[in-house]
């Protein structure tokens, strides 16, 4: 009688040997690096987006025409004005929000639970957006002012020489709390953006992974959906944030907008509710690719780092 074939032993399951400090800091570091890389890719689009939002009524809002005008009047390098502030913003804001989102998601996960429901992802996204934006507001304020300066009359321009000059002068001229000017709409905008971006990305990855596995296809499709929700949910708040951060007192020392709600009301009364979606195509071209590049870069970096410690 023939002997029964020997059973093949199942391959040993690899173990994650990352040290505790790396597990704790990796989401923050990876988020900041990925966000900085994405910012370098889309900075010219961001410049055009800001100019569209600050354009006076009746002025052209064609992104191609505005891009040509910037290059003609200010030089090609002006498309990258504020890049240093943009990178510092990513190293503060995105480092914080990506790390806080992953930390909050893990904290909300019950023992033995492989994934958390969408509402918990939403809570994590809102928390990460709010705290990350509060931490990164100084760099965001400097970025907006650097990009908007050329749109002001010559006698009203601040003429910052760079992000550190902007931050230093804001503290000197407006006080330390001046660094958080416009923080209210910035935080609300970030909460809306991260609710749309991070919660939908995680949820979409779980859905597509069933058909495509945890590879590039899943990451690309999920990041595309994430970009759409991030744009649509955050643009009105981004519009208001830009208006508030750019404003200067008039001759009587009075600001045009007293806060987020006041800005919403005045813009809607003057130009209608759809004015809040001014520059949607350009904003989409700026936010969606940034979200996609950031999230795919995060996946690549996480897989590379974690893979190196799988034994």
43 burial via Cβ count (<10 Å: 0-12, 13-18, 19+): buried
Query: What pLDDT shows up at residue 88?
Result: 86
The set of residues, in sequence order, having a beta carbon less than 8 Å from that of 58 and lying 6+ positions away, is none
For residue 6, is pLDDT > 60?
Answer: no
pTM of the model: 0.75
Residue pLDDT, tens place only, 106-162: 999 988 788 899 999 999 999 999 999 998 889 888 888 887 787 778 888 888 888
Residue pLDDT, tens place only, 166-192: 999 999 999 999 998 878 878 888 999
146 vs 115: CA distance, rounded Å:
42
Domain ranges for the chain, please list them: 20-308
CATH number of 20-308: 1.50.40.10
Query: Which runs of consecutive H residues, i.e. helices, occur in the chain?
Result: 20-54, 63-74, 83-89, 95-108, 118-148, 163-174, 183-194, 200-212, 216-246, 260-271, 280-308
Residue pLDDT, tens place only, 230-289: 999 999 988 887 788 777 787 788 888 888 889 999 999 999 999 999 888 878 887 889
């Amino acid at each position: 009688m023939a002997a029964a074939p020997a059973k093949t032993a199942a391959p040993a399951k690899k173990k994650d040997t990352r040290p505790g400090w790396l597990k704790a800091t990796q989401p923050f570091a990876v988020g900041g690096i990925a966000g900085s890389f994405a910012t370098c890719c889309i900075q010219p689009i961001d410049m055009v987006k800001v100019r569209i939002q600050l354009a006076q009524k009746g002025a052209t809002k064609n992104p191609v025409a505005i891009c040509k005008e910037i290059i003609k009047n200010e030089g090609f390098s002006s498309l990258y004005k504020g890049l240093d502030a943009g990178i510092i913003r990513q190293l503060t804001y995105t480092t914080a929000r990506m790390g806080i989102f992953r930390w909050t998601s893990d904290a909300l996960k019950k023992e033995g639970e492989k994934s958390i429901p969408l509402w918990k992802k939403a809570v994590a996204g809102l928390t990460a957006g709010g705290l990350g934006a509060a931490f990164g507001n100084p760099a965001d304020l400097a970025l907006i002012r650097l990009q908007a300066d050329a749109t002001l009359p010559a006698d009203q321009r601040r003429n910052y020489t760079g992000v550190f000059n902007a931050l230093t002068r804001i503290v000197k001229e407006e006080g330390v709390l001046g660094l958080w000017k416009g923080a209210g709409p910035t935080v609300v905008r970030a909460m809306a953006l991260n609710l749309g971006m991070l919660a939908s990305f995680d949820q979409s990855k779980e859905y597509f992974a069933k058909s495509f596995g945890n590879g590039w296809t899943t990451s690309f499709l999920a990041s595309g959906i994430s970009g759409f929700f991030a744009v649509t949910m955050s643009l009105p708040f981004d519009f208001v944030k830009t208006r508030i951060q750019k404003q200067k007192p008039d001759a009587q020392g009075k600001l045009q907008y007293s806060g987020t709600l006041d800005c919403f009301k005045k813009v809607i009364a003057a130009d209608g509710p759809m004015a809040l979606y001014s520059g949607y195509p350009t904003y989409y071209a700026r936010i969606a690719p940034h979200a996609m590049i950031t999230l795919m870069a995060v996946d690549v970096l996480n897989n590379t780092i974690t893979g190196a410690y799988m034994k």
